[in-house]
Amino acid sequence: MDIIEAIKMRKSIRGFRPDPVSKEVLRGILEIASNAPSAMNTQPWEFTVLTGMVLENIRLGNVEMLNSGAMPHPEHIVVGWPLESVYRRRQVELAKQIFRLMGIPREDKQKRAEWMKRSLRYFDAPAAIIISVDRSLTEASPLLGIGAVMQNICLAALEYGLGTCIENQGAVYPEVLRKFTGIPGSKQIIISIAIGYPDWDFPANKVESSKEPVERVTTWCGFNQNMSL
């Protein structure tokens, strides 16, 4: 698949067919994705790949945590935005689009809670990838490397006909993940990625997230000078 085509094609998938994804395919994707850049080639990412009963137990565990009123783990709040900001506006636009496609009215708290549970269940994907980092790596650069590997996973998955959703929600209860996978406390759990074969009939898969025009987020410097040399 052409690189530009893949970048344009990738979108977050929130509804999957139940077909399993083989270990070979998942390993292939991780091998390709590991060709990501990282600061000083530190390669800070560590993958934990979930499927089968382990994934089922984690889905149940996450939902139980929500039902018990547990708050997301404090070290796991990776998304925050000021009210009245452009970031909040974009988030609201996305939520409105998802809820409209899913037929969830704004005031229907129960259906909204069901959607939240669905995201804690990795959108019922047949597999999920958890990315963690050793706590000895404390600066921002490991996270940048993890961002690169994360995008590579999502792009490489397309070549296998797979869809992905990078999910903060899938990692808000690290204690559940640690219980069923053995990820030790010395590793910080950063993010999850739901992965599987897309169910193209699932309404939320029709979301078309808007992107700001490049001109609005770019400052061009030095381009008006005579560059004829």
Per-residue b or e along 91-110, where b marks 16 or more CB atoms closer than 10 Å to that residue's CB: eeeeeebbbebbebeeeeee
Q: Nearer Cβ to ligand FMN, position 11 or 100?
A: 11
Q: Is 11 in the site for ligand FMN (CB under 6 A)?
A: yes
**Closer CB to ligand FMN, 15 or 126, in the complex:** 15
CA distance 24 to 140: 32
Name which of 22 and 77 has its Cβ closer to ligand FMN.
77
Contact between 36 and ligand FMN per CB under 6 A: no
**Residue type at 34?**
S
- Site residues for ligand FMN, 51-110, by CB under 6 A, read 78, 94
Transcribe 98-137 into DSSP letters.
Answer: HHHHHT--TT-HHHHHHHHHHHHTGGG-SEEEEEEEETT-
Nearer to ligand FMN, 4 or 228 (CB): 4
Member of 102, 133, 165, 176 binding ligand FMN (CB under 6 A):
165
- In terms of CB distance, is 26 or 128 closer to ligand FMN? 128
Q: Any contact of residue 169 with ligand FMN (CB under 6 A)?
A: yes
CA distance 64 to 117: 9
CB 50 within 8 A of CB 58: yes
| Helix, strand, or coil (residue 201) | coil
In the list 22, 42, 85, 209, the residue contacting ligand FMN (rule: CB under 6 A) is 209
Contact positions vs ligand FMN (CB under 6 A)? 11-12, 14, 78, 94, 119, 165-169, 191, 209
